[in-house]
């Protein structure tokens, strides 16, 4: 089968740890089943699947659980309750641009262990092995989609951080319930958080990459959150229709 070439993006940062847990308790997985394994001279990997925890009503829980930890020289580990998360982690395609149209993996939890130097080729290999196992393929399709484009409309309300070049200020994003505190981040990070929370496309375009401190309560109603951003920080938005490639996962 001819493999699709995905737009893989490779980050050179040495250590990355990312975690998303929207469950009240840590996920409880069933017994893992090894579904793919490959051992080579310079690398090896294995993919396991298990069933997600079920509640008394036999409903799947904790599908949003996701952790990704990596070291560019020694490998990575992915634990995820959704195929979409796995695809995004291996390709850096935004989840919102991935449509799972045929999900033969519904209800499964994935553990992926990779040992070796992280390369684009090996990420593609792992993904293709996983898709082949479930008899799935990815088809890129162009589509016009609506996007919220953020912009600073009242600069006096939003002061950029002027960093002393001799000191290092770490960027951080901390979420407690619906409140998110952003420290030393560009507005691209805010746009990504809004996109993930509201499942709407957001972007912020600025070549200067200025950084800010923000505290935002993510309301249930998106319009309330956007109104807050405008009133508190002078951040407005406009709606645009743009052409994007959507990656369809089909049988």
Task: List, for residues 83-123, the tens digit of each pLDDT value.
Answer: 999 999 999 899 999 999 988 888 888 999 999 999 999 99
HSE-CB at 91 with a 13 A cutoff on CA atoms is: 21
pTM assigned to the model: 0.75
Look at 209 and 104; give whichever has higher pLDDT.
104
Residues 153-196: tens digit of each pLDDT: 999 998 887 654 444 567 888 888 888 999 999 999 999 999 98
The confidence score (pLDDT) of residue 14 equals: 45
Contact yes or no for 71/87 (Cβ under 8 A) = no
Determine how many CB atoms are found less than 10 A away from the CB of residue 68.
Answer: 20
CA separation for the pair 187, 208 (Å, rounded): 11
> Among 171, 214, 216, which residue's Cα sits nearest to residue 197?
216
What percent of the chain is predicted at pLDDT more than 90? 57
- SS3 state of residue 233: helix
What percent of the chain is predicted at pLDDT more than 70? 81
């Amino acid at each position: 089968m001819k493999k699709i070439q995905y737009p893989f993006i490779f980050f050179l940062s040495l250590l990355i740890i990312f975690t998303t847990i929207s469950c009240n308790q840590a996920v409880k997985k069933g017994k893992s089943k090894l579904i793919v394994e490959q051992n080579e001279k310079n690398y090896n990997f294995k993919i396991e699947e298990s069933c997600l925890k079920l509640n008394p009503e036999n409903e799947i829980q904790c599908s949003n659980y996701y952790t990704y930890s990596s070291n560019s020289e020694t490998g990575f580990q992915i634990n995820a309750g959704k195929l979409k998360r796995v695809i995004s982690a291996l390709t850096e395609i935004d989840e919102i641009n991935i449509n799972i149209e045929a999900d033969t993996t519904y209800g499964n939890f994935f553990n992926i262990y990779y040992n070796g130097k992280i390369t684009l080729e090996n990420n593609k290999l792992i993904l293709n092995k996983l898709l082949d196992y479930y008899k799935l393929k990815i088809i890129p399709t162009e589509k016009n989609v609506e996007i919220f484009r953020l912009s600073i409309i009242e600069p006096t309300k939003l002061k950029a951080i002027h960093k002393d070049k001799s000191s290092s200020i770490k960027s951080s994003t901390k979420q407690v319930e619906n409140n998110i505190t952003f420290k030393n981040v560009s507005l691209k990070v805010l746009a990504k958080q809004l996109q993930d929370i509201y499942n709407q496309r957001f972007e912020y375009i600025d070549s200067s990459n200025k950084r800010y401190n923000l505290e935002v309560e993510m309301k249930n109603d998106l319009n309330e959150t956007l109104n807050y951003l405008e009133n508190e920080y002078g951040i407005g938005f406009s709606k645009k229709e743009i052409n994007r490639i959507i990656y369809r996962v089909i049988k």
